[in-house]
Every structure is written in structure tokens, then in C-alpha cells.
Amino acid sequence: MSSRRVLVTGGRSLLGGAVARLLAEHGDQVALLQRRPAGLGLPETLGDVADRAVVRRAVAGCDAVVHLAAKVGVSGRWSEFSQTNVTGTDHLVQACRDLGVPRLVHVSSPSVAHAGSSLVGAAAEPADPQRARGHYARSKAMAELLALSADSPELRVLAIRPHLVWGPGDTQLVARIVDRARRGTLPILGSGAALVDTTYVDNAAEALVAAVDRVDEVHGRALVVSNAEPRPIGELISAIAAAGGAPPPTRHVPAVVASAAGAAVEAVWSVRLAIGQAAETDPPMTRFLAEQLSTAHWFDQRETQRLLGWRPTVDLATGFARLAASVT
């Protein structure tokens, strides 16, 4: 296969950087688009995906785009999520169409189809902005529908939903669990027995590269990606905390209490946003977070693996060992 010109948006993120490096290792000509330098030694366009001119400049001449750039978080103004996740995706899709880019791998989230109930061996249900919970999930659901609606013989679009990506250097899931475990503010909700699957970053990156390889044959749909190793949520949190050098949590809080506390915290955060006193960090608890930490969510991976010709290469035990090695 001749070298492809591939644009990766959001190259500063844990997963974006891993995807860009892996594509380059495979011989692709990789360029990046993000707001600040990624430090990967690859050609970069610096700017916001909400800036149409910046997007068009970055997309020009590409054979494929992997779109990871997103506003992530459990709090914040709707306008911020909408501008980056919805408007940014719209600009990217339009640029691909106008400039003749034939392939788009849109990185989504399982939360786009999660209405709050437990997900046990679930398939990738259609994105539903009306039922998605929280600004992030709702905006990503809108973005996924927008991207998939552009699928055509001229622009093949495949949406990939990696589930809870983590690994060394993660400033989202891992950093927050380790920090709160060290401060003694990380409880286990309920019994901690709800089964949850996650995705080690190398596996997620390999799945996205496989999606670029397979998008000509597999397009117009969404696929969830995970390690296919569901574990009790209490066990996962404890393992991540321990690997990060923090004491595993021992305190249990009823899920209903955590949800009520989350509602109260959300109200306080909303007032702070309204008066221009937004916090630097996400709130310690929200109703969505309480739900995620107390209900099962894991997905049947057989169809994803078959369609992508991909399987995870790093199991959880190896991932935890790598995480521990990275902090010693």
C-alpha cells in the first residue's frame, strides 16, 4: 500500500498522540490539527476545529482524516461543547466533502447511546441526542449523527466509540482516580460489583488505525471498541489507583446518596458558571458520574473485532503493570 496522507485532529490527547505515532510507524504521512503544539515531531496546523478556514487548510490534500478533537468533561457551558464537538465536526465534514477527502474516521463515545440503564453485552445502538446524558454526551451524539449522515461513495465515514480509554500519561481517567484516591475522596459507589469494560490506549489506537485501513469496506455505521475484559468497577478503580501509587479506596457510598450529592454539586456549579466563576476542575460528583460508577456498561466486541480485523493486544494485567512502571 502506498503511503497515505492522514490528518489526526486532537493530537495532544493521550489517544490522539498514540494514533498519530502508530500511523507514522506504519509509513503514513501524518499531520496534526490542534490548538497547541503536540510535540510529536510531525507537521502541525495550530488552531481550533471551530475555525472553518483552519480546518480547510489542515484537510487539504489528505487521503484520510481521524477526528479526535473534542471538548471533554462533565461540566461546562453547552456553548463550549457545541462549538467544538458539533460545529467543529460540521466544519471537518464539509471540508472533506469540498476538498475530495475520501475517508473519515470519526471518534465518538459509547455515551452517545447511553440513556442511564445498565448495558450488559450491548451492541452499538444508534446515537440519540435526546436521551444522551450531559453536555458532552449530547454534543458527541449530535456530532456522530452529523458525521455518519455524510457517508457516501465519495466520503466513507466510520464512527468508532472507544470505551473509557486509559494508560500511562492519561490526564483524564487515571489522573483523577489517582489524585482522589490519594486525598481519600474516592469512594466505591454501591457494592462496586457492576461490570465495566475499559480500553487500554494502545488497543484503542490500533483499533483506530484498523478503522482507517477498513473504512472503504466498513462505513456508514458506529462500532464500540474496548478491551473486552469487563471487571467489577470497584476492582478497576482499585487497580488503577494502586498502579498509580495511591491507596485503593475502601469507603462505600450508596449510589442513591452519590446521585443526590451529584445533583446538589451540579446546582452549585451551574450558579458559578452563571456568575462567571467557573471552577478550574470538574465537580467532584455529578449525577452522570454517579451513574457511570454504579451501573454496568460493557459491550459485545465480536462484530467490532470481525469487521475491523482487530483484536486487543494488551490485556488489563499488562496495562496495569505498564501504568505502574510509568510512575516509579
Highest mean pLDDT among 7-21, 113-127, 291-305: 7-21
Is a pLDDT exceeding 80 seen at residue 313? yes
Pairing of the two strands 29-34 and 5-9: parallel
**Residue written as cell 490542534?**
34
Q: Give the CA dihedral 92, 73, 177, 290, nearest 10 degrees.
A: -130
Are the C-beta atoms of 165 and 173 separated by less than 8 Å?
yes
Average pLDDT over residues 252-270: 58
* Model confidence pLDDT, tens digit, residues 73-88: 777 788 999 999 999 9
Q: Which residues are catalytic?
A: 136
Stronger pLDDT, 42 or 291, i.e. the higher one: 42
The packing angle between helices 135-149 and 88-99, to 10°, is 10
**So what's the pLDDT on residue 210?**
98
Rounded to whole angstroms, the Cα distance separating 253 from 319 reads 28
- Average pLDDT over all residues of the chain: 87
CA distance 131 to 5: 37
For residue 25, pLDDT over 90 is answered with yes
Closest of 8, 91, 78 to residue 50, by C-alpha: 91
Cβ atoms of 140 and 109 closer than 8 Å? yes
The cell numbers describing 226, all together, are 474496548
Q: Where are the alpha helices (DSSP H) in the chain?
A: 14-25, 52-59, 78-81, 88-99, 135-149, 173-183, 201-214, 233-243, 255-274, 287-292, 302-308, 316-326
Q: Domains in the chain, ordered, with CATH?
A: 5-163+200-228+297-314 (3.40.50.720)
Q: With residue 232 as reference, give the H or E element that holds it.
A: strand 231-232
Q: Determine the Cα–Cα distance for residues 160 and 109; give it in Å rounded to an integer.
A: 7
Confidence of residue 319 (pLDDT cuts 50, 70, 90): very high
